[in-house]
């Protein structure tokens, strides 16, 4: 019986490897020249095939030169590659996503450079939400020349202001201009004009960045009032640029780091921490991450909370320099429970107290029903905003910052 020597087997292995690689390359080039879901899938198959071939080849070379641990590493990577492909079929072969993480080219003095995405100035935005193919909500948002959502009913004779910062909760997503939290607070206080500096997807990063970038006292007519940061727990994750936030909408958001107890701006998440951001971009589209709902970092740390508190504290200090006669408060708005972070939430409240930041907790855990949150969405309803506005007014009156509400 003929005996095949080792060198012949090795040459045969590499010949098969080259043939398969060339076949994959041909399929890849053909698919790349076309468009549509089918070619996208073939591009995905060929890319995964190239990775698998590369890992196997590198493992073989490592074993050939007795680098066992390197060879074992590449075998593990090959197995992960196979797992990724299997999960693609387990998930029903979803469409291949194409995400663009290129930063917009804004001039240095443009608000978008400092804040990230923002609405067009002096515009009316039409928005709608679909559910099962049907239009669930329609809304129009009126935006003024300072990129703020307009609060109807402004009165030039009023002497005080309420300046709201926050996200879609403060902005009033899916609600009319007169049903937002700032609007309902203005309606509940005869002598106050409300200004809405909130926008969907934002957090404390935009509040601090805007105060560092602009003197808001030049945009507000009244000389005294109150600054209100409308907080929800997801802002904690947005401020650290977790993988979910970064890859869905936050790659161009302001990036802050904690340095000697102070929040210091380092550009945007995309360019301020390029290695971590690149890693998030590569991982987010994988079927492993999507199937198992993986997010990074895996958990919050003490430093994350201290960074958030430092950002709020710095924003408060700048705000009070711009408005020396004002007060500043954090309003913890209607929020969904987060049992996993319950202990961290308690610690966060303690850190706010230590930083001399006033917190008003307006969460209504016993009223999270369809009258208080929008169905198939979760944002507060007009009724919820009205109740939060009254709670805010009562708490400010108790502190002596506003007149008490008459019965």
Contact status, residue 211 vs residue 202, Cβ threshold 8 Å = no
- What local confidence, expressed as pLDDT, does residue 133 receive? 79
In a domain, 47, yes or no: yes
On whether both 30 and 160 belong to a single domain, the answer is no
In a domain, 335, yes or no: yes
- What local confidence, expressed as pLDDT, does residue 32 receive? 55
Q: Which comes out higher in pLDDT, residue 18 or 70?
A: 70
Give alpha helix (H) positions in 65-219.
68-90, 111-115, 168-171, 181-188, 204-213
Average pLDDT for the chain: 88
On whether both 83 and 115 belong to a single domain, the answer is no
Quickly count: other Cβ atoms within 10 Å of residue 86's Cβ.
13
On whether both 80 and 117 belong to a single domain, the answer is no
Does residue 92 come out as left (phi exceeding 0), alpha (psi in the -120 to 50 range) or beta?
A: left
On whether both 24 and 162 belong to a single domain, the answer is no
Report how far residue 260's alpha carbon sits from residue 322's, in angstroms, rounded to the nearest whole number.
24
281 pLDDT more than 60: yes
Q: Which comes out higher in pLDDT, residue 369 or 355?
A: 355
pTM: 0.87
Place of tokens 């098969």: 16
Does residue 350 come out as left (phi exceeding 0), alpha (psi in the -120 to 50 range) or beta?
A: alpha
Tokens in use for 45?
A: 């198959």
- What local confidence, expressed as pLDDT, does residue 377 receive? 84
Report how far residue 194's alpha carbon sits from residue 77's, in angstroms, rounded to the nearest whole number.
56
Residues 6+ apart with CB under 8 A from 56: 17, 74, 78
Report how far residue 198's alpha carbon sits from residue 400's, in angstroms, rounded to the nearest whole number.
26
Mean pLDDT of 336-347: 86
- What local confidence, expressed as pLDDT, does residue 295 receive? 94
On whether both 36 and 122 belong to a single domain, the answer is no
Give the H or E element holding residue 327.
Answer: strand 327-332
Mean pLDDT of 330-358: 91
Contact status, residue 49 vs residue 24, Cβ threshold 8 Å = yes
Residue 155 belongs to what domain range?
111-398
- Tens digits of residue pLDDT in 206-219: 999 999 999 999 99
Q: Which comes out higher in pLDDT, residue 72 or 47?
A: 72
On whether both 54 and 149 belong to a single domain, the answer is no
Bond preceding residue 297 cis, omega within 30 of 0: yes
On whether both 389 and 279 belong to a single domain, the answer is yes
Q: Residue 60 — very low, low, confident or very high, per pLDDT cuts 50/70/90?
A: confident
On whether both 156 and 240 belong to a single domain, the answer is yes
In a domain, 144, yes or no: yes
Report how far residue 348's alpha carbon sits from residue 232's, in angstroms, rounded to the nearest whole number.
12
- What local confidence, expressed as pLDDT, does residue 17 receive? 59
Contact status, residue 103 vs residue 271, Cβ threshold 8 Å = yes
Contact status, residue 228 vs residue 163, Cβ threshold 8 Å = yes
Report how far residue 317's alpha carbon sits from residue 356's, in angstroms, rounded to the nearest whole number.
11
Mean pLDDT of 75-86: 88
Please state the domain count of the chain. Answer: 2
- What local confidence, expressed as pLDDT, does residue 338 receive? 78
């Amino acid at each position: 019986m003929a005996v095949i020597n080792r060198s012949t087997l090795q040459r045969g292995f590499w010949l098969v490897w080259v043939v398969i690689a060339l076949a994959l390359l041909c399929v890849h080039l053909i698919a790349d020249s076309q468009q549509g879901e089918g070619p996208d899938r073939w591009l995905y198959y060929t890319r995964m095939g190239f990775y698998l071939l590369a890992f196997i080849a590198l493992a073989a070379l490592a074993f050939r030169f007795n680098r066992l641990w390197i060879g074992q590493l590449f075998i593990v990577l090959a197995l992960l590659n196979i797992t990724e492909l299997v999960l693609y079929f387990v998930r029903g072969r979803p469409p291949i996503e194409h995400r663009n993480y290129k930063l917009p080219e804004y001039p240095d003095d443009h608000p978008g450079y400092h804040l990230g995405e923002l609405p067009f100035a002096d515009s009316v935005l039409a928005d709608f939400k679909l559910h099962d193919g049907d239009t669930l909500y329609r809304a129009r948002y009126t935006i003024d020349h300072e990129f703020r959502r307009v609060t109807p009913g402004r009165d030039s004779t009023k002497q005080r202001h309420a300046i709201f910062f926050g996200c879609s909760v403060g902005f009033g997503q899916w609600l009319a201009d007169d049903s937002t939290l700032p609007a309902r607070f203005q309606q509940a206080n005869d002598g106050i004009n409300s200004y809405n500096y909130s926008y969907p997807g934002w957090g404390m990063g935009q509040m601090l960045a805007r105060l560092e970038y602009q003197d808001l006292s030049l945009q507000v007519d009244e000389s005294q009032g109150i600054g209100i940061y409308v907080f929800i727990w997801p802002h904690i994750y947005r401020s650290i640029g977790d993988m979910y936030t970064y890859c869905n909408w936050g790659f161009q958001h302001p990036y802050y780091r904690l340095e000697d107890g102070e929040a210091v701006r380092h550009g945007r998440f995309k360019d301020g921490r390029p290695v971590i951001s690149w890693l998030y971009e590569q991982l987010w589209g994988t079927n492993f991450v999507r199937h198992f709902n993986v997010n990074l970092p895996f958990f919050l740390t003490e430093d994350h909370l201290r960074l958030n508190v430092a950002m709020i504290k710095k924003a408060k200090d700048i705000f009070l320099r711009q408005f020396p006669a004002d007060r500043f408060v954090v309003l913890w708005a209607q929020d969904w429970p987060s049992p996993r972070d319950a202990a961290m939430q308690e610690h966060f409240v303690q850190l706010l107290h230590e930083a001399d930041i006033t917190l008003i907790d307006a969460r209504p855990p016993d009223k999270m029903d369809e009258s208080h949150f929008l169905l198939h969405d979760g944002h507060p309803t007009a009724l919820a905003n009205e109740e939060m506005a009254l709670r805010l007014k009562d708490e400010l009156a108790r502190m002596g910052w506003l007149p008490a509400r008459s019965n």
